[in-house]
Homo-oligomer: A and B are copies of this chain.
Amino acid sequence: MALIVQKYGGSSVADAQKVMNVAKRIVREKDKGNDVVTVVSAQGDTTDHLIEMAKEINSHPSKREMDMLLSTGEQISISLLAMAVERLGYPVISLTGPQVGIKTSSVHSNARIISIDITRIKKELQKGKIIIVAGFQGVDENNDITTLGRGGSDTTAVALAAALKADFCEIYTDVDGVYTADPRLVPQASKLKYISYDEMLEMASLGARILHNRSVELAKKYRVPLVVKSSFGDNDGTYVKEVEKVEDKMVVTGVAHDTNVARIAVLGIKDKPGMAYKLFDLLAKNNIDVDVIIQSIGREEDKDISFTVSSSNLEKALELIKENLDYLEARGVKYRDNVAKVSIVGAGMVNNPGVAALMFEALAEANINIGMITTSEIKVSCLINEEDVEKAVKAIHDKFQLHKIHQ
């Protein structure tokens, strides 16, 4: 008998029929003799609908009240899913984030989980009940409802699995696993049977939007065994595990791409200490995440600093820099929005010199120009023109013969 934490996203419970299907999956697990704790997101477009309702009334509502509003989405889906399980004749109870005792920081709309009190869940499990938990939400020290931001329900599931010492944390989504590349771009892409936490982290942060990296980080920290599966089929999915458990350490596990990227260059910055600090501190204080950074070697008295931000932050970043050109002692700012990032990820890369060169060769053969390059121990990323993305991913996938991966 195992204890399994499952998580179903909004598309998996979008209507009554889908809710019933999820209920059937849950009781199937229960029938095997397992204890099941299921985390669920708000149904389909409920969250968007609630946001629209708010905007009709106030274009800049406080984040506290938005959290109060948005947390109803998950509360609706847990009660409906519990009713579906009841209909199948199984004992069940739904619990909100506050009821589960998911204590978070007070940063509304982007709270962090501080602790989970598992007393209530344990008590209900002992009664033989299936537990349905609202994802994405918690409660701060003032007893105010908070939400966890993007990927919040994944984070709830992993945190619960860690707190409960669950045997597995199953993440059900609309894809059936992690692939060597996006199958929409590369039809020959292979599904991975295993991937390490670190590789998954890089994949997640590189634009493969299967798991949010917060949840992968948490899974890694607490060694929670993750499985990514489709909520519609019965395929095996991809296991995310500790690296030493990944039998066949792949040199390159997959090719990720991200088109939600813009490049900004701040020109003619004075070549003296502290200038980069001033720039990135300014961006950080305004909640603009910066990804790749390249600083040109100083020529004469000034230098250029280039970096990438997500496209959605481009406008805000440009405005901020233009307003602060004097403070930054810079001459001007340039940007390009039609760029993209392609990356290779692989835990075996660290022991295999020449992997980066092979990637560059693939891009050169495909006649694709590289804008910026950045590397870590288990990944290499290149900035290219957005229009070249599909060609680049295919060329790299071919070069590393990733279609031949059969773990």
Contacts and interface: CB of A to CB of B under 8 A. Distances in A.
Instruction: Identify the interface centre among A53, A58, A79, A93: most chain B CB within 10 Å of its CB.
Output: A79
Interface in A77-91: 78-80, 82-84, 86-87
A50 B66 CA distance: 20
A56 interface: yes
Interface string A58-80: 10011011101101100110111
Interface string A23-60: 00000000000000000000000000010011011100
A84 B99 CA distance: 28
A65 B50 contact: no
**Identical copies in the complex:** 2
A54 B75 CA distance: 13
Given A16-B57, A56-B16, A82 B68 contact: yes
Nearest to A67: B79
Contact of A57 (B20, B66, B143): B20
A19 interface: yes
Interface in A112-158: 120, 143-145
A57 B83 contact: yes
A97 interface: no
A80 B54 CA distance: 6
A58 B71 CA distance: 23
A68 B84 contact: no
A65 B79 contact: yes
A171 B16 CA distance: 37
Contact of A72 (B76, B83, B93): B76
Q: Give the secondary structure class of A's interface.
A: helix
Contact of A58 (B56, B61, B83): B83
B99 A83 contact: no
A94 interface: yes
A326 to B, nearest CB: 33
Contacts of A71: 75
A98 interface: yes
A316 to B, nearest CB: 22
29 contacts: A16-B57, A20-B57, A53-B76, A54-B79, A54-B80, A54-B83, A57-B80, A57-B84, A57-B87, A58-B86, A58-B87, A61-B87, A62-B82, A62-B86, A64-B93, A65-B79, A65-B86, A65-B94, A66-B79, A68-B78, A68-B94, A68-B96, A69-B75, A69-B76, A69-B79, A69-B83, A72-B76, A72-B79, A120-B143
